[in-house]
Amino acid sequence: MSKKITSALVWFRNDLRVEDHMGLNRAIASYDNVIAYYTFNPSHYGNIRWGFKKTEKYRAKFLIESVEDLKAALKKLNITLVIDLKPPQQTIPQIVKKHHVKSIYLQREWTQEELEEEKKVSNAIKDKISWVRNYEQMLFHPEELPFNISQIPEVFGSFRKRCEKDVTIKPVLSLTKPLPSSNLLEKSYELPNLSDLGLKSTETDYRSAFPFRGGTANAIERLRLYFWETKKLSYYKNTRNGLVGTDYSSKFSPWLANGSISPKMIYWEIKRYEKSVQKNQSTYWLIFELIWRDYFKYISMKHGNKIFKTKGILERDYRWGNSYSVFDSWCEGKTSEPFVNANMIELKQTGWMSNRGRQNVASFFAKDLKMDWRMGAAYFESLLIDYDVHSNYGNWMYVSGVGNDPRDRKFDIQWQAQRYDSNSRFQNLWLQKTLFK
């Protein structure tokens, strides 16, 4: 009687790469048979209570491109990527049973929806398996922090200074060796298109500041271009508040958000650049932004579901509005502020908005319109290509006065427009109808 061949399943979610991937490395090191899995879970593409899609076409298109790239990279390792359009609790148990899966490897998550998704899968699996979770999305690994999660400082500067002083950044995990070609499944899985997800097709707007495609290969090409070919990294701190064009900022955030590239991959490339080309305030400032990203992840880990509550982590009791007519005027770029309108139209047309724009439109929504900030956060989740749950809700709380800003500031929109768009180039780009001809 032949012995059953056991397998490992690597469940991909927001970690769509093969390089610097602990789970994938451990699965290949422990098993001769490895299967990969990704689902375009239909619950991620339906309507939410505010009346719009949870994930709209821009981020969905970028995700499809990223999964396509992942599929090709995994095939080079002789690993089949099972691409699904069903809730994972329907398909993963079938894979576990059919292929005698003994371990499921996945990126550790801690926010509510992801945990509930894992629980549904676990409850549906009748076989005894092990779950192997790894932290894959931070620059500073939790085990290396100089404080417990419950002691994460509520002020970013304190977090940054301690981590910079006491934490050593782990090296990038090199690509693992391919498995035998016999590991590949007989069936090859096709990618969905936008209509399969219930979404309309989209074309890149010629004005977009983010015309790039998804996937690790494109992330690495962007890194090469921004660092080595144009050396724009050397000027990042001076240009990062820009509004027009592809190079005022690094534009790494969409690939970071779905894990096509890891923060460590960027960090160590910055260090290589500093040795080979130049070390200055700009090279440091990109690391500074990666640390901000980490900070919001740890704040969400510390405070749990408070980041989704009206009162935020400060539990401040503001009286928020929820008028749909006011909300729609903001979404459609039909407010009293042209600078806000231009940014909102850019978001609606491209799925992208600059950091400067995001701070202004969020402040206007919460502080001027006095609308429930969670509606704005949900709208960003729907449209932004680079949506990241921790950064999105962390930043919205921060700007709305219920998060980690001890000063509770309010943006002067007209002053901001004058400073950052003094010649109205950005506003004209998105507001003048003559430019549509």
Instruction: Tell me the pLDDT tens digit for each residue of 159-186.
Output: 999 999 999 999 999 888 899 998 999 8
Q: What is the pLDDT of residue 3?
A: 55
- One-letter amino acid for residue 210 of the chain: F
Of 303, 324, 344, the position where a domain reaches its end is 303
Strand, coil or helix: what is 130? strand
Q: What is the pLDDT of residue 7?
A: 96
Starting at the earlier edge strand, list the strands of the sheet with 130-134.
Answer: 81-84, 34-39, 7-11, 101-107, 130-134
Q: What is the pLDDT of residue 283?
A: 98
Contact 85, 42 (CB under 8 A): yes
Q: Within a domain: residue 199?
A: no
CA atoms within 13 A on the CB side of 282: 19
**436 pLDDT band (50/70/90 cuts)?**
very low
Q: Do 156 and 277 share a domain, yes or no? A: yes
Give tens-digit pLDDT for 355-385. Answer: 999 999 999 999 999 999 999 999 999 999 9
Q: Do 89 and 155 share a domain, yes or no? A: no
Q: Do 234 and 261 share a domain, yes or no? A: yes
Q: Do 256 and 343 share a domain, yes or no? A: no
What mean pLDDT is predicted for residues 2-16?
A: 88
Model pTM score: 0.96
Contact 62, 211 (CB under 8 A): no
What mean pLDDT is predicted for residues 200-204?
A: 92
**225 pLDDT band (50/70/90 cuts)?**
very high
Q: Within a domain: residue 191?
A: no
- One-letter amino acid for residue 9 of the chain: L
Q: Within a domain: residue 187?
A: no
Q: Do 35 and 57 share a domain, yes or no? A: yes
Q: Within a domain: residue 205?
A: no
State how far the Cα of 278 lies from the Cα of 412, in Å rounded to an integer.
36
**20 pLDDT band (50/70/90 cuts)?**
very high
Give tens-digit pLDDT for 60-90. Answer: 999 999 999 999 999 999 999 999 999 999 9
Kindly give, in sequence order, each residue whose CB lies less than 8 Å from that of residue 215, ignoring residues fewer than 6 positions away. Answer: 16, 65, 66, 68, 69, 70, 255, 260
| Better pLDDT: 3 or 19 | 19
CATH, residue 118? 3.40.50.620
Average pLDDT score over the chain: 95
Q: Which domain holds residue 316?
A: 309-436
Contact 132, 23 (CB under 8 A): yes
What mean pLDDT is predicted for residues 139-168?
A: 96
Q: Do 40 and 142 share a domain, yes or no? A: no
Q: Do 235 and 354 share a domain, yes or no? A: no
Number of domains the chain contains = 3
Q: Within a domain: residue 226?
A: yes
Q: Do 108 and 166 share a domain, yes or no? A: no
- Could you write out the DSSP letters of every residue in 89-108? HHHHHHHHHHTTEEEEEEE-
Would the pLDDT of 285 be above 90?
yes
Q: Within a domain: residue 35?
A: yes
Give tens-digit pLDDT for 227-256. Answer: 999 999 999 999 999 999 999 999 999 999
Q: Do 161 and 299 share a domain, yes or no? A: yes
Q: Do 336 and 225 share a domain, yes or no? A: no
State how far the Cα of 392 lies from the Cα of 111, in Å rounded to an integer.
13
Helix (H), strand (E) at residue 336: none
Q: Within a domain: residue 116?
A: yes
Q: Do 119 and 222 share a domain, yes or no? A: no
CATH, residue 285? 1.25.40.80
**CA–CA distances in Å: residue 412 to residues 332, 365, 368, 426:** 21, 12, 10, 18
Q: What is the pLDDT of residue 407?
A: 77
What mean pLDDT is predicted for residues 153-162?
A: 96
Q: Do 90 and 29 share a domain, yes or no? A: yes
CATH, residue 351? 1.10.579.10
State how far the Cα of 80 lies from the Cα of 189, in Å rounded to an integer.
8
Of 136, 153, 182, the position where a domain reaches its end is 136
Q: Within a domain: residue 69?
A: yes
State how far the Cα of 400 lies from the Cα of 364, in Å rounded to an integer.
9
Would the pLDDT of 434 be above 70?
no
**1 pLDDT band (50/70/90 cuts)?**
very low
